[in-house]
Structure 1
Amino acid sequence: MPTVLGMTNDKKKTGPSPGPGGPHVSSSTTMGSNERLDTISKRNHAAAREMETLLWRALCDEPESLKEYIAHDCVMINPLLAPGGSCEPLSKDTQPNVVDVLQAGANGNKFTGYRFHHDPFVVEVDLMAVALVYKLSLFWQGKRGTKEIVASASSTWRQTAGADWLLVAFHVAYADDDED
């Protein structure tokens, strides 16, 4: 999926479309992959990566859509977006709250793009919950050109009875950029 800077997190290879003998396509094949998502575990892992991508796209491009991804009881530590670079935990009961910080940071056009360094590691917490950890680069347009922040992130997602995935925990921290 392209971002503002034209970068992509899509691992899909370009080339001719598969013919009749090509990969199996069904409702269990989703998320831009030709891999069969024929188990709950595979679908959860694919959904986790997709939701993380949608979250960062919303942070960079569509801050008004952030609320639809965040659970009412979400907790967060994010010094990249929190006022004054605070590492204080945030929840629905803090001032500012999680949604306020995410939307204020995104509305300030702080980040113009992002790039995952590798596919996020995903672990199933439960049948309807997953956690991810990964390293990413965040970009913004400064007065002297494009700047990059390297960060590590962790998030936990819970699936609702309606099959929607909601963010319940989000932790972002600055990372050393000399490691890759």
Structure 2
Amino acid sequence: MRRSILIILGVLSLTSTASLAGDHHHANDHAAHEAAAHGIHGLHAWTRATDDDHALVFVELKNESDHEVHLTGGHSAIAETVTLVGFQMQEGEAVYVPIPQVPVQPEGELDLMPNGLALQLDGLARPLAKGESFEVEIVFDQGHLMMPVQVEANNATQHSHAGHMH
């Protein structure tokens, strides 16, 4: 398992060192899809509709600060726990395993996405239906980010606004 986590972290370090480009000032009309605090910018948080007691949250994160930050997990009023997890194959089965933290380099980005990293919500208080939304608090070693999460179809592979410029 340690080797799998190291492989995941190695891939993530390549992703988190990607340089950010473009204008980081966003119009207020996109507030339902983004949040910013402590130099961290989150965009397009989403999950799939489910009747299960767990769900995975995916989001695009950008570290717009001049220092490294570490993503450590989260909290949500609709779940008992929110854990940072990474995807891996175990004996031919796809599973998500807990990861203690992931670094995001200064001016770097980290995308939580299917078959990669995610925030796993366990002990959901209710089913999640397409079109609903809720908040998740994404926790970093330097603070937290309150992020709106959009519930997409149960077979979604990306946020419905993916590719939309902000």
Larger radius of gyration: 1
Greater strand proportion: 2
TM-score in terms of structure 1 length: 0.27
Higher relative contact order (CA 8 A, sep 6+): 2
TM-score in terms of structure 2 length: 0.28
